[in-house]
Amino acid sequence: AAMNRKRLQQLVESLGRPPRHFNKSEVECLIKLFETLVAESGSPFAASSLDRNMFRGILHRTFGMTDDMIMDRVFRMFDRDSDSCISVVEWVEGLSIFLRGTLEERIKFCFEVYDLNSDGFITREEIFQMLKNSFLKQRSEDAEEGVKDLVDVVLKKMASDHDHDGKISFTDFETSVRDENLLLEAFGPCLPDRK
Q: How confident is the model at residue 41 (pLDDT cuts 50, 70, 90)?
A: confident
**Hey, where are the domains in the chain?**
5-100, 103-183
* Predicted model pTM: 0.84
Q: What residue type is assigned to position 191 of the chain?
A: L
Helix ranges, the chain (H):
5-14, 24-41, 52-63, 68-78, 88-100, 103-114, 124-135, 141-158, 170-179
Q: How confident is the model at residue 47 (pLDDT cuts 50, 70, 90)?
A: low
Say which residue, 162 or 131, is predicted with more confidence: 131
Give CA–CA dist 23/28, Å, rounded.
9
Q: What pLDDT shows up at residue 1?
A: 43
User: Domain 5-100 belongs to what architecture?
Assistant: Orthogonal Bundle (1.10)
Q: Would 5-100 and 103-183 be classified into the same CATH topology?
A: yes
Question: How many CA atoms does the CB half-sphere of 174 hold within 13 Å?
Answer: 12
Query: Which of these CATH numbers, 3.10.520.10, 2.60.40.4070, 3.40.50.10490, 1.10.238.10, describes 103-183?
Result: 1.10.238.10
Say which residue, 48 or 16, is predicted with more confidence: 48
> pLDDT tens across 82-126, in order?
999 999 889 999 999 999 999 999 999 999 999 999 999 999 999
